[in-house]
Structure 1
Amino acid sequence: MNTINNAAQIIEQLNDELLVLRQQNAELDAKVKWYEEQFRLSQQRRFGSSSEKTDPMQLDLFNEAEDTADPKISEPGIETITYERKKRNPGQREDKLKDLPVEEIEYELEESEQICP
């Protein structure tokens, strides 16, 4: 009788210990998944593309307007804006600079410095 009670107590202790270990295992799995996700995000930020492309892992957010829009309604046409650009007058700079005095300075090197390779 004594051994049956001891065996029952041992089984109960082992079951309790098993439950605690399973709970710890679940918590550790959750932590590992969180750390893996943080690592993946940091690698994406560090080495990933820096443009505004959407991540394929990300859900399609903020698509309410597209989902609720009526596809039967036609889209408005493109409005073109016409305007006249100001034409440039070629030679205008030369006209402004023609009245300025021009001074020509000629430099000549000595014979010893006039060596071409």
Structure 2
Amino acid sequence: VGRKAWLFADTSQGARASATCYSLVETAKANKLEPSVYIQHVLERIADADTLEKLEALLPWNVKLERVSKKVPQFD
């Protein structure tokens, strides 16, 4: 995404929101989840997460979604 994308964070709230989004995406990747699938999963369930346990169940290392593995084409 790079440096130019950060120019749109005009306020500290905007910067915080961007950092939160990037953190969700990168944490999903680190846990071998497809970021868009993970974020959709969280958004569909977060309204019902009224306890700490329910929120913790939404963390990427607690979610039971299909793990992805990048398949890079091999060239000879």
Q: Larger % of helix: which?
A: 2
TM range (shorter): 0.3 to 0.5
TM-score normalised according to structure 1 size:
0.23
Specify the structure having the higher radius of gyration (Cα): 1
TM-score normalised according to structure 2 size:
0.33
Using CA pairs under 8 Å that are at least 6 residues apart, name the structure with larger relative contact order, 1 or 2: 2
